[in-house]
């Protein structure tokens, strides 16, 4: 879905940054980009370079080693734009064309066995998203880990729309229902939209609507053409779909669902303070509550 939506936006002439943030690393290859450990955003050298750029001259952060997942931009910070010349895009993204770039966070490496979790890899994505220039024109599309992991960090508070892809089965519905419940508790329920996948008929659609309590904003059927393209190893394209209206529905939904800046800032402040008060954060980084600066 993320690859199809990226291609949809690309075909329409929009500026797009596609970020593969799934531990399985499927989005980048689906867009024709080779994703290796050395180019991953979570590679320590790349993470340090990106954070050094974002830090700029921000006096509220005591050096790049004190960046945490929720560190916000401050005076002197460098914001990321979707311009190809932006240092973060130029140094860490693959250009599909002048308007479309692809990044990947990375995956779980053998060295991480018994010593870490994938949530730690996502911290650099949190930094990148929180430092996006709000005046930069374009779209950021992230393929996320399936399920509720986004609530283990600040990612749920950083998107205008979170598309939950649900199939008309009890197992898939249970995951989507749990996501909706957590989104309500986190204050971002309005950001969540459901797209039905493998919806064969009106009975499937009715099942999703009744079980989730909201109607999907769009649906995909069984998509024989898409399956044949993937079986042949061809990157997915909206033209492979029997009906691509779900993609335009996502775009239309996102156009009217931008999270108000004040609400996003309030959510991010709350999450930063929650993280700052963790014992392991204080032990590793000291008191990072001062990174917030003054309330605007």
200 and 119 fall within a common domain: no
Phi, psi angles (nearest 5°) of residue 201 = -160, -175
**Total domains present in the chain:** 2
What is the pLDDT at residue 110? 64
Task: Report which of 245, 49, 235 is spatially closest to residue 128, judged by C-alpha positions.
Answer: 49
Domain contains 174: yes
In this prediction, residue 197 carries a pLDDT of 95
> So what's the pLDDT on residue 262?
85
Are 134 and 195 found together in one domain?
no
- Is residue 266 one of the residues assigned to a domain? no
* Mean of per-residue pLDDT scores for the chain: 91
Q: Which domain holds residue 194?
A: 160-258
**HSE, side-chain direction, 13 A CA sphere, residue 165:** 15
Position 177 scores a pLDDT of 95
> Do the bridges between strand 100-104 and strand 16-21 make them parallel or antiparallel, or are there none, so unpaired?
parallel
Low pLDDT (below 50) residues in the chain = 295-296
Boundary (domain end) residue, out of 159, 180, 207: 159
Question: pLDDT of 54-102, one tens digit each?
Answer: 999 999 999 999 999 999 999 999 999 999 999 999 999 999 999 999 9
Q: Are residues 7 and 64 in the same domain?
A: yes
Domain limit, last residue, from 142, 159, 176: 159
Measured distance CA(5)–CA(10) in Å, rounded: 8
Residues 111 and 47 placed together within one structural domain of the fold: yes
Task: Say if residues 194 and 188 touch (Cβ distance below 8 Å).
Answer: no
Residue 80 and residue 222 share a domain:
no
Same domain, 44 and 164: no
Pick from 202, 204, 28: nearest CA to 103: 28
Whether residue 151 sits in one domain with residue 6: yes
Residue 136 and residue 225 in one domain: no
Whether residue 286 is contained in a domain is answered as no
Distance CA 75, CA 55 (A): 9
pLDDT given for residue 9 in this prediction: 97
Pairing of β 218-219 and β 139-144: unpaired
If we measure between CA atoms, which residue out of 138, 133, 61, 53 comes closest to residue 88? 53
The answer to whether residue 94 sits within a structural domain is yes
User: For the domain that residue 208 is a member of, what is the CATH number?
Assistant: 3.40.50.300
> 129 and 168: one domain?
no
pLDDT for the residue numbered 96: 96
Give the pLDDT of residue 109. Answer: 63
E strands, the chain, in order:
16-21, 94-97, 100-104, 139-144, 162-166, 192-196, 218-219
Give the Å distances, CA to CA, from 187 to 71, 95, 173, 184, 272.
20, 35, 21, 5, 15
Same domain, 45 and 95: yes
Residue where one domain finishes, among candidates 132, 159, 186: 159
Does residue 273 belong to any structural domain of this protein? no
10 Å CB burial of residue 28 (0-12, 13-18, 19+) is buried
């Amino acid at each position: 879905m993320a690859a199809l939506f990226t291609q949809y936006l690309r075909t329409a002439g929009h500026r797009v940054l596609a970020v593969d943030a799934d531990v399985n690393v499927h989005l980048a290859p689906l867009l024709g980009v080779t994703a290796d450990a050395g180019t991953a955003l979570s590679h320590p050298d790349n993470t340090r370079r990106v954070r050094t750029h974002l830090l700029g001259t921000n006096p509220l952060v005591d050096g790049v080693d004190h960046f945490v997942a929720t560190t916000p931009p401050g005076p002197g910070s460098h914001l990321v734009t979707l311009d190809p010349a932006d240092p973060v895009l130029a140094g860490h993204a693959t250009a599909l064309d002048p308007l479309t770039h692809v990044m990947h966070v990375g995956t779980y490496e053998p060295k991480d066995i018994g010593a870490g979790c994938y949530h730690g890899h996502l911290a650099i994505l949190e930094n990148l998203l929180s430092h996006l220039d709000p005046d930069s024109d374009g779209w950021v599309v992230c393929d996320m880990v399936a399920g509720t992991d986004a609530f283990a960090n600040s990612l749920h508070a950083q998107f205008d729309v979170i598309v939950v892809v649900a199939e008309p089965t009890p197992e898939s519905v249970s995951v989507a229902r749990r996501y909706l419940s957590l989104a309500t508790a986190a204050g971002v329920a309005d950001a969540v939209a459901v797209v039905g996948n493998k919806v064969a008929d009106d009975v499937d659609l009715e099942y999703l609507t009744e079980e989730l309590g909201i109607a999907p904003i769009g649906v995909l059927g069984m998509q024989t053409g898409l399956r044949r393209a993937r079986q042949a190893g061809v990157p997915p394209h909206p033209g492979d779909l029997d009906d691509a209206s779900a993609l335009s529905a996502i775009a239309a939904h996102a156009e009217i669902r931008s999270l108000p800046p004040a609400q996003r800032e309030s959510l991010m402040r709350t999450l930063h303070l929650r993280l700052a008060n963790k014992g392991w954060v204080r032990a590793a980084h000291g008191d990072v509550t001062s990174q917030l600066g003054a309330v605007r």
